[in-house]
């Protein structure tokens, strides 16, 4: 950090803490998810009448549930977005015999092109949904009173004041590095 920033930190009595540019766990997201996983594990151990030592047996089940559940924000299942596979449940098994073996190279190219097209369409849909949600949030902010627009340029240092959880009158000051 340069001398100006160090002087500012010293004058404002702010402790400089190093954080990485993007850490999803920095705001407690991982702790919240872990709390939910722990609750789910305890519930399933109780439901299946398993010993606490058998918790590793539940990890694949919980992983499958998380990966095969539709996310309302994006309207798709994570396993579909990442792999193109249809979501499934543990209680329903499907035997798909859609491909006749042996498959010809032309048929393989055709199926691959269809899959690529379907994945591209799905990713565009997800992108449009997220952009629409962002636009709606931005539009709702424009109609609120006492909201001032903020103008930043690339590589600006930003000092952010956030309300702390302890008291409503206390602010916590954090440096936010430029996002690229």
Residue 93 binned pLDDT confidence (cut-offs 50, 70, 90): very low
pLDDT at 102 over 60: no
Q: Report the domain count for the chain.
A: 1
Q: Is residue 12 situated within a structural domain?
A: no
Are 81 and 123 contacting, i.e. CB atoms less than 8 angstroms apart? Answer: yes
Residue-number span of the structural domain to which 85 is assigned:
74-90+105-142
Helices (H), the chain: 3-11, 29-47, 59-67, 78-83, 105-142
Average pLDDT score over residue span 6-11: 84
Bridge partners (DSSP) of residue 175 are 159
Residue 2 binned pLDDT confidence (cut-offs 50, 70, 90): confident
Q: Is residue 97 situated within a structural domain?
A: no
Q: Is residue 127 situated within a structural domain?
A: yes
Q: Is residue 129 situated within a structural domain?
A: yes
Average pLDDT score over residue span 36-51: 80
Q: Which residue would you say has higher pLDDT here, 10 or 165?
A: 10
> Taking all residues of the chain, what is their mean pLDDT, rounded to a whole number?
71
């Amino acid at each position: 950090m340069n001398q100006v920033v160090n002087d500012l930190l010293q004058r404002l009595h702010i402790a400089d803490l190093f954080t990485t540019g993007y850490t999803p766990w920095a705001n407690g997201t991982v702790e919240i998810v872990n709390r939910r996983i722990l609750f789910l594990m305890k519930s399933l151990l109780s439901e299946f009448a398993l010993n606490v030592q058998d918790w590793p047996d539940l990890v694949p089940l919980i992983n499958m549930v998380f990966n095969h559940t539709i996310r309302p924000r994006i309207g798709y299942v994570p396993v579909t977005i990442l792999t193109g596979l249809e979501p499934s449940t543990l209680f329903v098994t499907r035997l798909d015999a859609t491909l006749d073996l042996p498959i010809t190279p032309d048929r393989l190219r055709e199926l691959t092109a269809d899959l690529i097209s379907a994945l591209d369409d799905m990713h565009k849909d997800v992108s449009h949904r997220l952009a629409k949600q962002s636009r709606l949030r931005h539009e709702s902010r424009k109609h609120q009173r006492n909201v001032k627009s903020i103008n930043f340029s690339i590589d600006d240092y930003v000092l952010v004041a956030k309300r702390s959880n302890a008291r409503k009158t206390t602010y916590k000051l954090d440096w936010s590095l430029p996002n690229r």
